Structure 1
Amino acid sequence: MNRHMEILEVWEARKRISSLVKKTPLIKSLAISERAGRPVYLKLENTHEIGAFKIRGAANKILSLSDDEKRRGVTTYSTGNHGMAVAFVAQNIGIEATVCISSRVPKMKVDSLERLGARLEIVGESQDAAGVRCFELEKERGYTVIEPFDEPYVIAGQGTIGLELLEDLPTLSDVLVPLSGGGLLSGIGLALKTNSPDVRITGVSMERSAVMHESLKAGKPLEMEESETLADSLLGGIGLDNRYTFDMVEEYMDQLVLIPEEDIGYAMAYMMDKERMIVEGAAATGIAAVLGNQIPHQNGALVVIITGRNVDLSILFKLLKTYTSHR
């Protein structure tokens, strides 16, 4: 890691983004608490305007730019939600944004990006390929690249979730964080472990193309071919030249749980049925881990980070049909 991130950076992020990002609700789930035999709370990052937590990191980075950098515009690469966050912030402060995405990004997210006024470039079949084009645009047009996860301002922005958890639920003992590139877990880990070292942080990911998991096993960042998964927001590499999140995830994460596709689908349908809540596959991984009794029991409250709601309704309808036929 080039430098050690400090908790002060998270507090500064909270102040910087306050004009664009509002505190999200933390609610107790009676149904899941009953299943788990302990208090289970849901941190509703799906209630942001773009329907995902990514607005926090994107806002912190973009709002930190100089006037000249803002004037020249920004670009990013994304599996959808980060691109939507960058487009939303750019639209709100009146600057141009170009988002590079792969052909795997679902139509629902493509439509949302277009509505937010982003200029789209669809490149290849992976986030890594989109990333290559993004850095070409930086050289060609002078845009500032807004990294999706491995960037201090982005990590600090996501860490503001941890500050809100400490305020609203000081008795928490477990936090389940969907894990991909690691920006979310790194930020929450920094905020929680600095203030409450005994909190257990569990990363949750899909079984298919879990790049951070394989990288941690290998002891270095790896590249992997992407696979089809309901948790499409968790696809993408961590970067072979990863500077922050690989080390921070290794430091702050206490355990990692991989979730089968069937369990992700079940959790998405369960949330619709029991909580009347739309959650995307990535957000359902934590719910699936609790429903599948994959989190060793300990006293205190458990929090699941509900990272987003951006899923094609056609997928959700299919999952609901399967779920109701098996109840």
Structure 2
Amino acid sequence: MRLVTLEDVHAAAAAIAPHVVHTPLLSFDSGLWIKPESLQPVGAFKLRGAVNALSRIPSEDRARGVVAYSSGNHAQAVAYAAKTLGMPAAIVVPENTPQLKIDATRAHGAEVFVVGITERESRAYELVEERKATLIPPFDHPDVIAGQGTIGLEICADLPDVATVLVPVSGGGLVSGVAAAVKSLRPNVRVIGVEPELAGDTTASFAAGELVRWDAHDRARTVADGLRAEPSELTWAHIRQYVDDVVTVSEDEIREAVRQIARRTRIVSETSGAVAVAAYLNRELPAGPAVAVVSGGNIEPEQLASILG
């Protein structure tokens, strides 16, 4: 299995540069900077991988469009990228996707299909067959992983003495790309994945040394709706190669991290985006400057009000 290389990530950076934001590092406290991917045009890091993957579709295939399945942020990203690059898009989302993310996906011109939480992949493959479209999975694709890896390039450029990078984990595309880039540029930097305790399948896999599967309904219990997927064979290979550790955080720790991010940096984070900061606040970490990737800010207003209140 071929892993994404630093050259792949540099090529992705060139491809996506006209369409994504080089997000800044914002001071959280004396030891932590946050990387607010909530500042992307779709409010999440997923735009990086989506633009890179769509930009590499051959011209003769573009008219048939793209299909994606997603819990929300990848849906918006593919819809936005398809609109920007002139392709039709069909997106399959599970029924527990926040309405905010469904509405935003439709607003970008995509056709949205809402299905049961265990049916999103099968329906997407049906649409690919029906339309002869190109599938853009949320994480299980080298072009998607390379696009997410551009975050690692930016972190190393903006904070050369970084010691630890904390990254949310769901399907593993983000942590795979970031870790591949960071470890290639700074082998001594520790890359730590973070996930909710209620969706701690990657932590269990890391401890076991092999993929451990959790039932989708169990993973759906967490408030972090963007972290309910599980790694693929491809992302697991990257995690094993490049990631130093994976830790979990509790539901209360996630909510408190959303509050702390808002109060200390004036940035809105969705619950999924806050897990890296939750780990910084509640787990023992190596000494030295740390960066937490705040992966997105697409949170329902009612949920944000409840957490901040």
TM-score of Structure 1 vs Structure 2, range by shorter chain: over 0.9
CA, structure 1 residues 144+179, in 2 after alignment: closer, same or farther (shift >3 Å)? same
The reply to whether residue 232 of structure 1 matches residue 225 of structure 2 is: yes
Partner Cα distance (1:81, 1:4) in 2: 24
* 1:278-289 equivalence runs, <5 A: 278-289=268-279
* Length, aligned pairs only: 306
Match in the other structure for 1:260: 250
Partner Cα distance (2:79, 2:268) in 1: 22
Match in the other structure for 1:324: none
Q: Is the 8 A contact 2:4 2:177 kept in 1?
A: no
Partner Cα distance (1:285, 1:170) in 2: 23
Match in the other structure for 1:320: 308
DSSP 3-state at the match of 2:215: coil
Residue deviations 1:288-327, cap 9 Å, x none? 11121x03241x3100001100010101111112xxxxxx
Equivalent AA in structure 2 for residue 23 of structure 1: H
Partner Cα distance (1:263, 1:26) in 2: 22
* 1:1-327 equivalence runs, <5 A: 2-29=1-28, 32-33=29-30, 39-126=31-118, 129-218=119-208, 219-220=210-211, 222-225=213-216, 226-239=219-232, 242=233, 244-292=234-282, 294-298=283-287, 300-321=288-309
C-alpha deviation, 1:94, in angstroms: 1.7
Equivalent AA in structure 2 for residue 224 of structure 1: D
C-alpha deviation, 1:59, in angstroms: 0.4
* Structure 2: runs of 5+ lacking an equivalent: none
Partner Cα distance (2:125, 2:202) in 1: 22
DSSP 3-state at the match of 2:267: coil
Partner Cα distance (1:263, 1:288) in 2: 6
Q: Is the 8 A contact 1:52 1:81 kept in 2?
A: yes
Q: Is the 8 A contact 2:94 2:116 kept in 1?
A: yes
Identity %: 36
Q: Is the 8 A contact 2:167 2:193 kept in 1?
A: yes
C-alpha deviation, 1:204, in angstroms: 0.5
CA, structure 1 residues 6+273, in 2 after alignment: closer, same or farther (shift >3 Å)? closer
C-alpha deviation, 1:223, in angstroms: 4.6
**TM-score, normalised by the number of residues in structure 1:** 0.90
Partner Cα distance (1:185, 1:272) in 2: 23
Q: Is the 8 A contact 1:210 1:235 kept in 2?
A: no
Partner Cα distance (2:174, 2:284) in 1: 19
Q: Is the 8 A contact 2:3 2:237 kept in 1?
A: no
DSSP 3-state at the match of 1:201: strand
Equivalent AA in structure 2 for residue 309 of structure 1: G
Partner Cα distance (1:176, 1:297) in 2: 11
* Structure 1: runs of 5+ lacking an equivalent: 34-38, 322-327
Partner Cα distance (1:192, 1:80) in 2: 27
C-alpha deviation, 1:22, in angstroms: 2.6
Q: Is the 8 A contact 1:209 1:224 kept in 2?
A: no
Q: Is the 8 A contact 1:58 1:89 kept in 2?
A: yes
CA RMSD after TM alignment: 1.4
DSSP 3-state at the match of 1:208: helix
